[in-house]
Structure 1
Amino acid sequence: MNEPAAAPVGRRRVELIAATALGAAATAALSVSMYGYLADADLWLRYPLGRALARLTGSGLNFGFAFCGILALTAAWLWLGRVRPAIRETMLILTIWALPMIFGPPVLSRDVYLYVEQGWQLLTGANPYTTGLGQGGPTAAMVQHWVGTTAVYPPLTLRIQQLVVTIAGADGYASVVGMRVPALAATVALAPICAALARRVGTSPARAVWWAVLNPLTMVHLVGGAHNDGPMVAVAALALLVAYRGTAGSFVAAAALAGVAGALKQPGLLFAVAVALIMLQRLDLPDRRRRWLAGAGLVAGAIAIAALAFLAVSALCGLGNGWLGTLSVPGSVVTFTPADQLAALIQQVGAAVEIEVPDDLRQRLVWPVRVVLLIALALLIRRYRRSPIMLMQSAMLAFTLAGPAMRGWYYLSGITLLGVAGSRRVLAVGTGIIVMTLTSEGFQETARVAYPLGSGLLGLTLGALAAVAAYPWLWPRETPGERQRVS
């Protein structure tokens, strides 16, 4: 497919400004929409502006603001992909898009209140692994649905949460806004890391940065939601970059960084496998048998080093490994996992034709769905066996889909680096996943419904349409002259 000729400088500038303005309006709409479903005790209702915005969006308008915001943000991002901003332009756009959300309520998730509560527990001398939530912290009124549960996150993340609450003086509003700092820092750090990774694999650095830091999933769930997946993904990406140096020392350092990523959030440990595959690729062994033996040894070594680093960081944090006893908590609720949606579909069809469906159908479907995903992953491994980054992103997406629960921010570990090595077709699929999860979550959060089948099907339909429609707009891996305009 021939690439379109570059737009004249004047037209490009107009399009760049227009797309940036559209994205800023979108993030503002998303932030405003969140006032429409604040709880009575929410922190933002202390202030006149917060109460005014809550009244504005409290009569069903929050749904319209949120949905229009999601679609407009996606359109602005894809428009920028067609304009192809340089890295400096992308970082300026990130700043402009982030500003409307930084001081507003958390977007499409209330997990940040949980982070503050856990940080407050540590500040008061309690251990979140042994002390249930809702014990009187500054956000206790906003974590009622978590009351009595204990922390699921690794120790390093809990210590970061404690640091934020300490700096904020245990003030609820300042602590919630402060929780965005680690997520924003991770988003900014992804820019040079992704650019360097793209140079390593011979693709466009500017494209890699545009995809990683401006995609709607990053904007909504890192900037807007302050989720702790951001630091994990940034450290994991740094591990891959270090691994590309191809020395024994860099292998050890990269595997250790994967362990640190795991200490931020457990899936980060899986990036140790990608570290091993990158090292194997750098060795360039001609004999197939030697490649298999070396690969097995490198994978085992990387996992061992990552595990040791994880344990060392955990020991330094001094909280123990109480999260091991809470691994079943995320799976105790119905979310948008394939098993959940398939079970909901079968139950609705069964009810329509008056066929009795087992109450535990969801649990029965979990492993058949995982087997299907495992087969799909095997095919992807064959397809991307020469691309460790694409192989790892495929594995992380499969891991997310096969998990006991699925939230939009879980996709970040399998989406963020697609711009480094993915083809235009891969980015189209990634765009579909982004639209699918954000529209499903937007419907669920703003319409106050409990993960109905309808919201999942709506997201799947819009995601499929977005994947097809976005393809011509997406930035190819490399274009003539692209490498001359990367900063």
Structure 2
Amino acid sequence: MPPSASIESAPSSSERTSGVSRLSLSGDQDGRPLPLRTIALGAIGSVLLLFGSLGAGGILLSDPILGDGPLSALRYGHGRYIAMTVLYLGFALLVWAWIRLGRGVLAHLVEARGVLWATGAWLAPMLIAPPLFTRDVYSYLGQGLLALHGMDPYDVGPAMLTGTIPENVHLTWQTTPAPYGPLFIGIAKGVILLSGHSIIANIIAMRLVLLSGLVLLICSLPGLVRHLGGRLPVALWLVAASPMTVVQLVGGPHNDMLMIGMLAAGTLLVLDGRHAGGIAMASAAMAIKATAGLALPFLVWIWASHLEGSLWRRFLHALVPALSVFALVFGGCTVLAKVGLGWLSALSAPGIIVNYLSAPTALGQAVHALASAFGPISIWPFVGTTRLLGSLLLVGILIWNWWQARDGGSEAVRRAAIVLCCGALLSPVLLPWYLSWGLAMGAAFAWTSRGLSYVVGGSIVVILAYYPDGEQAMYNTPFMAVVVAAALLGAASLERFDPLGLRDPMRDLLRPAQRER
């Protein structure tokens, strides 16, 4: 979570000679140089991700581009291993560039415009790449296609249909009802209507629509930083240029990107005193994905803090119009999408996945492993119990933080970010992109460099806990050992230029003498 105070400082002389200051070549509008070499490094990584994804990503079962041509060799045997190698190399370069950029941001050498240039360069190749580290976009399209054919996506799964879209939906979700809100089902229908029958066009169109969420988030960050006390370059580095955004939210793509953008915009509107518009935007975010509903009660406190009177009088005067706005927006989305409220019962659908990234699930797995020593026994009673306890704990955390946020202002936003983080960590299943929920709300606060290093390490681990085709990698113990080591190195590298001590310490000491000659 965002720390309460920042310890960022200007670069020391040792940092300047260690290479942090040599990030740039050309000028920025505020006098700061653009980090061209770092931008280029990440762009190369992103292009390699694009090429590797043609064989190792969430590719189509029958691909009209790869087909039977030369590129089809990337899909099988040694060709696929080469594609995976290229993809992981690209990811490593992207992470390396992100860390270099972060050093420049922390040293006050790179400003917001430099981070935005990096974001654009790194995102561009992802717009045309096959889905990366997931196949969820096929589910999105399948659910939209169901609605387009007059079927209820909250009652049946894409397996009810035939054709290219449903056949590419992951087996886990073939018969699973949609757990997304009515606004997103309407968007999915619109994407298919506008982009026609080409599934590749559908994927690119879905990316572009979801990318509007990132645009909303970026546009909201200057105002959020003004209210919450952070630094705009740091906030942009955290949620716009990060591998979580480039690889997961855009490369995926995932509808969480649209949800967090709308939620950030709604939060800013409420902080600025445009309460009804803010609640409307946050309600629309919940109509994309229910997670946004965790933040809505905190926005009511912010509205109440702008009113006069006693605490409960202010709260009621904010709550009644807030509920009215919510009912109008959410009800309107439901009517326009021509669906019901069946998605609420489908919210548990991701729970069919069992992995140890979720704290409650990991505890249930551990207890089950101990009990299995006495004989074979089903895992579900254990996992079900610990997940229930995790849900109860989340409710307690939500209520306590909501009450602590009663003074509104930045504290209410901070508490909302905490709850969103806990909502991800305590959910029955933790998927990598869930971590973007809390970061989107908390990025505009002041961060310590240590806190940011935790984000770097955590991002590397959760992204690589899945293979590029979307299957789980976390039970591949040797692979995950390498991932954890890389995450620790990445986290340390943000604060230290040479965490392994590989650089010759005499190199920097000799440079002044060499220059004098």
CA contact (8 A) 1:269 1:307 kept: no
Q: Structure 1 CA distance, aligned partners of 2:89 and 2:66?
A: 24
Distance 1:258 1:282 in 2: 18
SS at match of 2:230: coil
Moved more, 340-349 or 171-180: 340-349
Worse overlay, 49-58 or 319-328: 49-58
1:253 aligns with 2:277: yes
- Change in 2 beyond 3 A, CA 1:73/1:427: same
Separation of aligned partners in 1, 2:68 and 2:282: 42
Find out whether 1:112 has 2:137 as its counterpart: yes
Q: Which residue of 1 aligns with 2:365?
A: 344
* Pairing 1:175–2:175 present: no
Paired residue total = 463
Shift of residue 149, structure 1, vs aligned partner: 2.7
Which of 287, 299, 312 aligns to 1:275? It is: 299
Equivalent residue, structure 2, for 1:152: 179
Residue identity in the other structure for 1:21: A
1:81-100 deviation per Cα after TM superposition (whole angstroms, max 9, x unaligned): 22233333333222211222
Query: For the residues of structure 2 that align with 1:63 and 1:348, how far apart are their CA atoms?
Result: 33
Are the counterparts in 2 of residues 208 and 417 from structure 1 also a CA contact under 8 Å?
no
How much is the aligned-residue C-alpha RMSD, in angstroms?
3.5
Map of 1:485 onto structure 2: none
1:141 to 141, 147, 167: 167
**Which amino acid in the other structure matches residue 452 of structure 1?**
Y
Kept in 1: contact 2:239–2:436 (CA 8 A) = no
1:287-308, Cα deviation, whole Å (9 max, x unpaired): xxx4466457645753553244
Identity of aligned residues (%): 24
What one-letter code is carried by the residue in structure 2 that aligns with 1:253?
G
- The answer to whether the aligner puts 1:410 opposite 2:438 as a matched pair is no
SS at match of 2:466: helix
Q: How does 1:3-402 map to 2 (within 5 A)?
A: 3-4=10-11, 11-14=22-25, 16-34=35-53, 35-36=55-56, 38=59, 40-42=61-63, 44-46=65-67, 48=69, 50-55=71-76, 58-84=79-105, 85-134=110-159, 135-143=161-169, 145=171, 146-246=173-273, 250-282=274-306, 290-291=310-311, 294-295=314-315, 298=318, 302-303=322-323, 305-335=325-355, 336-348=357-369, 359=379, 360-370=381-391, 387-402=411-426
Residue 219 of structure 1: how far off its partner (Å): 0.8
Q: CA deviation at 1:12?
A: 3.6
The worse-fitting range, judged by mean Cα deviation, of 62-71 and 254-263 is: 62-71
Question: Matches of 1:31 and 1:349 in 2, distance apart?
Answer: 43
Q: Which of the two has greater helix per residue?
A: 1
Q: Do the aligned partners of 1:232 and 1:264 also contact (CA within 8 Å) in 2?
A: yes
Q: How far apart are residue 383 of structure 1 and its match?
A: 9.0
Provide the rounded CA distance (Å) in 1 between the counterparts of 2:67 and 2:308: 62
Alpha-carbon deviation of 1:107? Answer: 0.6
What residue number does 2:475 align with? Answer: 452
Contact 1:232-1:265 within 8 A present in 2 as well: yes
Q: Partner residue of 2:509?
A: none
Preserved contact between residue 279 and residue 322 of structure 2 (Cα < 8 Å)? yes
Change (3 A) 1:377 1:124: closer
Q: Which has the larger radius of gyration?
A: 2
Give the direction of change, closer, same or farther, for the CA distance of 1:283–1:365 in structure 2 (3 Å limit): same
Instruction: Note the C-alpha offset of 1:159.
Output: 1.5
Task: Give the TM-score taking structure 2 as reference length.
Answer: 0.78
* One of 435, 438, 452 as aligned partner of 1:427: 452
In structure 2, how many angstroms separate the alpha carbons of the residues matched to 1:347 and 1:63? 34
CA spacing shift, 1:382–1:131, aligned 2, 3 Å? closer
Distance in 1, Cα, partners of 2:456 & 2:316: 34
Q: Distance in 2 between matches of 1:58 and 1:342?
A: 39
Pick 1 or 2: higher relative contact order, CA cutoff 8 A, min separation 6. Answer: 2
1:13 Cα deviation after fit: 1.4
**Counterpart contact for 1:233–1:413, Cα < 8 Å:** yes
Cα deviation, residue 465, structure 1: 5.7
**Range with bigger deviation, 38-47 or 149-158:** 38-47
With normalisation by structure 1, the TM-score equals 0.82
Query: How far apart are the structure 2 equivalents of 1:299 and 1:70?
Result: 46
Q: Is the 8 A contact 2:307 2:314 kept in 1?
A: no
3-state secondary structure, aligned to 1:46: coil
Structure 1 unmatched runs, 5+? 474-487
- Letter paired with 1:431: V
Q: Matched residue of 2:295: which SS?
A: helix
**Stretch deviating more after TM superposition (82-91 or 155-164):** 82-91
Distance 1:120 1:49, change over 3 A: farther
2:134–2:471 CA contact under 8 A, matched in 1:
no
What amino acid maps onto 2:418 in structure 1? S
1:261-307 CA distances to partner (integer Å, 9 max, x unpaired)?
1111111223322322333454598xxxx446645764575355324
